[in-house]
């Protein structure tokens, strides 16, 4: 993409309503525009990152054996009355009526709808285990939406639902989700710590939230510092193996880590004092096991191997897709702007032409652009007739992890400058070597 042809409405001033870093930078970098309180349009740059995050989630869900689908945003209130949640959910649920005077609602979550789908089509234990998931827009009518996409009313969310014959099978599904979530967050450059949490209106006793440590987090968290040393890394896990998934759960949840709702000061005191930490955290996902809470009242049953009709055991598992953009920025930025991890960056690198209109500089930038594009990479070429300082400021603000700077002086020596956004370090390389370095960073094989 050439910046002269891209829609990137960058703001020089910080809007007064933006209180936290991610909201300020998302507005200034032209990623979002508020439509009404807590509701945003996703402009091209923000939409690209949203899709990058979504792609990683899909890949890791499918790796774990989960099946994607899509459910509507508008649901019938009758299903929620069956489960008993319609009146219990509270004013966060947006209740509406259609022209036939039927009670409807804008979905905040989809346990009832997925249970109805299951009971309509599955009747035998032979069809289990089954995990279905979607990535879909949701709505919760927050009384005070704030912090941009971190606490909006409309949000993009991955929600998955497992159906199993026994509690043991459902707890394996719970562990499988925990493993897949650890992989997902690390691919995005995040350390998301699983913490014992409160189930809220979803219900159930077994639940963990995944929290990213950040000063602007909405939750107070208490944890053993050893947990921040854990990394999932490149290990291969057999998702069908109960033992392997259980071992990961124990590794990542055996140390103390809890949100303020479940914090136990007496248990926390057992952690060695030098390892006790208190901080703020941003919730980016949650997993639940809630047994037969929905299957019993809604009649979601299967016939087991002895011919008995039994309610299935269920769990639900969410990732805040749109919220993740804010969390990543809160965890990865400086006073100049965003610093995108390579896994979710909207463009793989930026190309800055220091002297637009200079034949040699223009030709070198075009060659770099074509070489990177031919490798399947997406560079953002700043070909605007702007001052160098303005170009650098834009690149720093939008946070691309790598920048190739091209100018007449360097080209006389046969070099361009490759700069890391994270460290600020630069090195001079031939244009060919710069392309090869970017290809290596992203695991792409450069063509000979």
pLDDT over 70 for what percent of the chain? 98
Q: Given phi > 0 = left and psi -120 to 50 = alpha, else beta, which region is 101? A: left
Mean pLDDT computed over 337-346: 97
**Are 420 and 405 within 8 A, CB to CB?**
no
Model pLDDT, residue 217 = 86
Please state the pTM of the whole predicted model: 0.93
Hey, what's the torsion of the CAs at 86, 90, 94, 98, to 10 degrees? Answer: 40
Mean pLDDT computed over 47-57: 98
Flag whether pLDDT at 203 surpasses 50: no
Model pLDDT, residue 445 = 73
76 forms beta bridges with 104
The C-alpha R_g of the chain, in whole angstroms, comes to: 24
Tokens describing residue 60: 């890791």
Flag whether pLDDT at 201 surpasses 70: no
pLDDT tier, 13 (very low <50, low <70, confident <90, very high otherwise) = confident
Flag whether pLDDT at 317 surpasses 50: yes
Instruction: Output 338 or 202, whichever has higher pLDDT.
Output: 338
Q: Where are the beta strands (DSSP E) in 242-399?
A: 257-259, 276-291, 301-303, 309-311, 313-320, 333-334, 337-338, 349-353, 379-382
**Are 132 and 115 within 8 A, CB to CB?**
no
pLDDT over 90 for what percent of the chain? 88
Computed over every residue of the chain, the mean pLDDT equals 94
Mean pLDDT computed over 119-146: 94
The residue assigned the tokens 């392997």 is 244
Flag whether pLDDT at 195 surpasses 50: yes
Model pLDDT, residue 45 = 98
Flag whether pLDDT at 307 surpasses 70: yes
Model pLDDT, residue 202 = 46
Model pLDDT, residue 200 = 58
Dump pLDDT digits (tens) for 88-131.
888 899 999 999 999 999 999 999 999 999 999 999 999 999 99
Flag whether pLDDT at 312 surpasses 60: yes
Flag whether pLDDT at 388 surpasses 80: yes
Model pLDDT, residue 16 = 82
Model pLDDT, residue 304 = 95
Mean pLDDT computed over 267-285: 95
Flag whether pLDDT at 447 surpasses 70: no
What is the CA angle 72-108-257, rounded to 5? 130
Model pLDDT, residue 446 = 58
**Are 129 and 161 within 8 A, CB to CB?**
no
Mean pLDDT computed over 141-160: 91
pLDDT tier, 285 (very low <50, low <70, confident <90, very high otherwise) = very high
Mean pLDDT computed over 396-421: 97
Dump pLDDT digits (tens) for 226-236.
999 999 999 99
Exposure letters 146-170 (e unless 16+ CB within 10 A, then b): bbbbbbbbbbbbbbbbbbbbeeebb
pLDDT tier, 426 (very low <50, low <70, confident <90, very high otherwise) = very high
Model pLDDT, residue 204 = 47
């Amino acid at each position: 993409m050439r910046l002269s042809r891209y829609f990137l409405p960058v703001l020089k001033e910080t809007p007064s309503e933006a209180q936290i870093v991610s909201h300020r930078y998302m507005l200034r970098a032209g990623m979002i525009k508020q439509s009404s309180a807590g509701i945003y349009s996703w402009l091209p740059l923000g939409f690209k990152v949203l899709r990058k995050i979504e792609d990683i989630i899909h890949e890791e869900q499918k790796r774990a054996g989960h099946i994607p689908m899509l459910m509507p945003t508008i649901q019938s209130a009758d299903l929620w009355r069956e489960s008993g949640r319609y009146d219990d959910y509270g004013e966060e649920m947006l209740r509406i009526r259609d022209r036939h005077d039927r009670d409807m609602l804008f979905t905040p979550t989809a346990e009832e709808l997925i249970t109805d789908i299951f009971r309509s089509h599955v009747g035998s234990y032979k069809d289990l285990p089954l995990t279905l998931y979607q990535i879909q827009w949701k709505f919760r009518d927050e009384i005070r939406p704030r912090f941009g996409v971190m606490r909006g009313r409309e949000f993009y969310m991955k929600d998955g639902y497992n159906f199993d014959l026994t509690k043991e099978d459902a707890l394996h599904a719970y562990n499988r989700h925990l493993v897949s979530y650890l992989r997902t967050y690390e691919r995005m450059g995040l350390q998301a710590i699983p913490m014992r949490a409160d189930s809220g209106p979803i219900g159930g006793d077994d639940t963990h939230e995944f929290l990213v440590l950040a000063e602007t987090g909405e939750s107070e968290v208490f944890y053993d510092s050893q947990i921040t040393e854990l990394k999932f890394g490149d290990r291969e896990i057999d998702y069908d193996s109960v033992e392997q998934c259980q071992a990961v759960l124990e590794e990542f949840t055996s140390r103390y880590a809890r949100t303020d709702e479940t914090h136990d000061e007496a248990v926390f005191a057992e952690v060695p004092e030098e390892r006790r930490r208190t901080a703020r955290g941003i919730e980016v996902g949650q997993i639940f096991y809630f047994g037969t809470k929905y299957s019993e009242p809604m009649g979601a049953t299967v016939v087991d191997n002895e011919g008995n009709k039994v309610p299935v055991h269920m769990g639900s598992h969410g990732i805040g897709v749109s919220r993740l953009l804010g969390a990543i920025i809160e965890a990865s930025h400086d006073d100049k702007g965003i610093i995108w991890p390579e896994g979710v960056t909207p463009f793989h690198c930026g190309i800055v032409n220091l002297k637009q209109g200079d034949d040699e500089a223009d030709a070198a930038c075009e060659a770099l652009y074509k070489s990177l594009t031919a490798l399947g990479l997406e560079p953002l070429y700043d070909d605007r007739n702007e001052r160098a300082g303005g170009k650098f400021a834009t690149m720093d603000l939008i946070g691309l992890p790598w920048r190739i700077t091209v100018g007449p002086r360097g080209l006389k020596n046969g070099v361009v400058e490759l700069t890391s956004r994270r460290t600020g370090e630069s090195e001079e390389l031939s244009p060919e070597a710069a392309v090869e370095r970017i290809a290596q960073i992203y695991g792409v094989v450069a063509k000979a």
